[in-house]
Amino acid sequence: MAKLPKIRPQFRANLAAQGIAFILNITLFVLTNNYFFIWTELACFCFFGGHIAKSPTFIDRNILNHFISVMAYYLISLLIEFNNTLYLCLIFSFTYVYFILRNNGYHKSFNLYMYIQALLIGTTFTSYPFHDKILATIVAYIEAQLILNLAFKFTKVRAVHETELRYHHVFKVSAISWLDFQRPEVRLAIRGAFTAAILYALCSSFHDMKPNWAVVAALSCLQRDDYTASLRAIKGVGIGSLLGWPLAAGLIYLLTDHIEISTALIWIFMLSAMVCSFELFIRPRLWLQILNSVLVLISVICVGVALQIKGLAYLDLKVLNSLIGIVVAMLILWTWQKTNKYFANVKTH
């Protein structure tokens, strides 16, 4: 019988930080009725991400690099404005750099939470001004640095990771190594970048307001050059989206006139999704991947209700884009495996 995920000791500091940030930001939201604090909370959630260790210095370099990456993406997005071709180029190049740098010793903070924050916050609930979301990101960064230190001290978690190097060191990496197809991270970067570009172009051609959801759904499943793990992630997101769709629709019906309850439920579902994510990292299982996808979908819908968005229309767009994303991811994964097998056979003979 499947055991439910539990809070392991090494994750206490992260979850404590998430809790402190939520109480602070949602209390301010309730007192002021200013949606700025909802955006601050979402940004904090992404900054904390999967951190279970901390830099030896007060300013955590992981979070700082994460902040610089996201802000660079936001500012370039503002300069591009509504130029679809340039935005497609931005999606392609940002995804390529994400795969190249995320595990090379320079930017451990280049994780999926950073990618999600960059692509989704600016393009989600577009009736809210983008510059407010950018300002909320700055406030959230300051909160995250202060709260993470407090949480590690309070929970007495002593885990320390090596402080990341500064951004100018990136330019010391040989340009050839960024394009060397023999390197696994370059091959993954090419696969990821083309997947992101294809999905954005496809969904944008439907005049869809949420093309980035499809991109994130696909890229979250194609993180590693591991066919079994990628296939399990695709199944988990697909089944989870289909199971969560009616549940989220029911929540929208029940919570439409209960914004306070919806706001409180955001953290409950987000925290549950975070615990599932930690457990998936330790021991990946399909049922847990499905549960995580359901919880993430419901969390997003609770945010929509709290922001008084027309939930059903948003829910349908979100799920349909996720399904488009995983279908394309499945096709690319299958093609990738067949191509690798073909070249392996050619090498052998």
User: Which residue in 156, 181, 24, 25 sits closest to 96, CA to CA?
Assistant: 181
What are the average pLDDT values for consecutive 10-residue runs of the chain, which has 349 residues?
62 86 89 87 86 75 85 88 86 89 54 81 68 90 92 75 56 68 83 93 72 89 86 94 92 80 81 83 86 90 76 82 93 90 75
Q: Find residue 160's DSSP bridge partners.
A: 54
The dihedral through the CA atoms of 257, 116, 82, 73 has a sign that is positive
pTM: 0.86
Q: Report the pLDDT value the prediction gives residue 243, as an integer from 0 to 100.
A: 95
Q: Which residues contact 19 (CB under 8 A, 6 or more apart)?
A: 267, 271
Q: Find residue 54's DSSP bridge partners.
A: 160
Q: Which residues contact 110 (CB under 8 A, 6 or more apart)?
A: 65, 66, 69, 98, 101, 102, 103
Question: For the chain, first and last CA: distance in Å?
Answer: 47
Long-range residue pairs from 256-264, CB within 8 A, at least 24 positions apart, any chain: 256/305, 256/311, 259/305, 259/306, 259/308, 260/30, 262/302, 262/305, 262/306, 263/26, 263/29, 263/30, 263/38, 263/302, 263/306, 264/26
Q: Are 66 and 109 in contact (CB under 8 A)?
A: yes
Q: Report the pLDDT value the prediction gives residue 107, as an integer from 0 to 100.
A: 47
Distance CA 114, CA 149 (A): 20
Backbone angles phi and psi of 54, in degrees to 5: -140, 155
Q: Report the pLDDT value the prediction gives residue 123, as an integer from 0 to 100.
A: 67
Q: Report the pLDDT value the prediction gives residue 126, as an integer from 0 to 100.
A: 59
Q: Are 38 and 303 in contact (CB under 8 A)?
A: yes
Strand runs (DSSP E) across the chain, as ranges?
Answer: none
Which token pair is 129?
């001004």
Q: Are 224 and 230 in contact (CB under 8 A)?
A: yes
SS3 124: coil
